[in-house]
Copies of this chain bind each other. A is one copy, B any other.
Amino acid sequence: MTEDLIYNKPWIMQRADPYVLRHTDGKYYFTASVPAYDRIVLRCSDTLGGLAEAEEKTLWHCHESGPMSRHIWAPELHHIFGKWHIYFAGGEKDDPWKIRPYVLECSGDDPMTGEWTELGMMRCREDDEFSFRAFSLDGTVFENGGAHYYVWAEKVGVGKQISNLYIARMKDANTLDTVQVMLTTPDYDWERHGFWVNEGPAVIKRGGRIFLTYSASDTGAAYCMGMLTADENSDLLDPRSWSKERRPVLSTDAEKGIYGPGHNSFTVDAEGNDILVFHARTESEITGDPLYNPNRHAMLMPVRWENGRPVFGFDNI
């Protein structure tokens, strides 16, 4: 089953916020933001490497106007609450920065062929007066101790804003069961380049610990990854349960020509080795607004484990 994977080089071109899921049946799925930000795509393959050449199917196209009509970003595929769901964020034609999190649900067992319907916007708990009121995106889901948790990025502030990460327990696929709790805010210089940003959360669990990586700073060469850690038996809704790394865990390596690595997900190769899926640029100079420059490419990197902690690096080969 061993296959040769291409590490730390463009693996799938012009696919940002790459997300890979290996389902319980062994099949691999890939989705990502496409440069036009106008649709949800999905690929399926029997192998991780095969995703690069797999046919990309458009599951859903953005609306003409209103909610979910612009800036369709960072889809993730999760089989939870008995069905396939896709979590993504989108803006509005007349208000393109009114980014909110939305959910799609599949009626069939095969996400490539089943019918997808909109569940609408992610819903906070009734007495939550803060969640999803502002620019909110990058929702991810993870399970722990039989409960599902939703982690997302949301901006706060008057005038210029700050993007923090929040967590809540889920009641069902599109409803939160608890009020938001803040997990991290941009505290350090490396999280404050251009914009003060924490976004793109992704979770990997090993050895009784939960590692939550996220991305920081603006979407150029300063973009990088940070990490939080919690014990899986702790109260994940208590910020005291999470500790934050003082330094980024992955950042630009100009010598290797990899700029702004981030917005990652985690998967495993055929042998079960952990693989980091991330996007990065190969150009140090970006033409125009980085957000609309299409050259963020999906890449793969083996995760190295050291003292029970994941280590990311372009020499991990």
Residues of B within 8 A of A130 (CB): 157, 160, 162, 196
Q: How far is the CA of A130 from the CA of B192 in the complex (A)?
A: 12
Question: What is the oligomeric copy number?
Answer: 2
| A162 to B228 Cα, complex, angstroms | 23
Interchain CB contact under 8 A, A187 and B134: no
B residues near A238, Cβ cutoff 8 Å = 187-188, 246
Tell me the bound Cα distance from A187 to B182 in angstroms: 7
| Of listed A158, A162, A179, A240, residue having the most chain B CB within 10 A | A158
Q: Is B156 a contact partner of A133 (Cβ separation < 8 A)?
A: no
A159 touches B244 (CB 8 A): no
> From residue A68, how far is it (CB to closest CB) to chain B in Å?
20
Q: Which of B134, B158, B182, B243 is the one whose CB lies under 8 Å from A134?
A: B158
Residue A267 at the B interface, CB < 8 A?
no
Say whether A239 contacts B158, CB under 8 Å. Answer: no
What's the Cα separation between A246 and B181 when bound, in Å?
14
Inter-chain CA distance A190–B287, complex, in Å, is: 49
Q: How far is the CA of A181 from the CA of B187 in the complex (A)?
A: 6
Q: Give A172-210 interface residues, CB cut-off 8 Å to B.
A: 179, 181-182, 185, 187-188, 192, 196
A159 neighbours in B (Cβ, 8 Å): 129, 133
Contact B239 A187 (CB under 8 A): yes
Smallest Cβ distance from A196 to chain B, in angstroms? 8
Q: Chain B residue with minimal CB distance to A239?
A: B187
Q: In the complex, which residue of chain B has the Cβ closest to the Cβ of A127?
A: B192
A residues apposed to B, CB below 8 Å: 129-130, 133-134, 156-160, 162, 179, 181-182, 185, 187-188, 192, 196, 238-240, 243-244, 246
The 4 A-B pairs at the shortest CB distance, nearest first, are namely: A156-B156, A134-B158, A129-B160, A156-B157
Residue pairs across A and B with Cβ atoms less than 8 A apart, 10 shown, are A133-B160, A156-B156, A156-B158, A158-B158, A182-B185, A185-B185, A187-B238, A187-B239, A188-B238, A238-B246
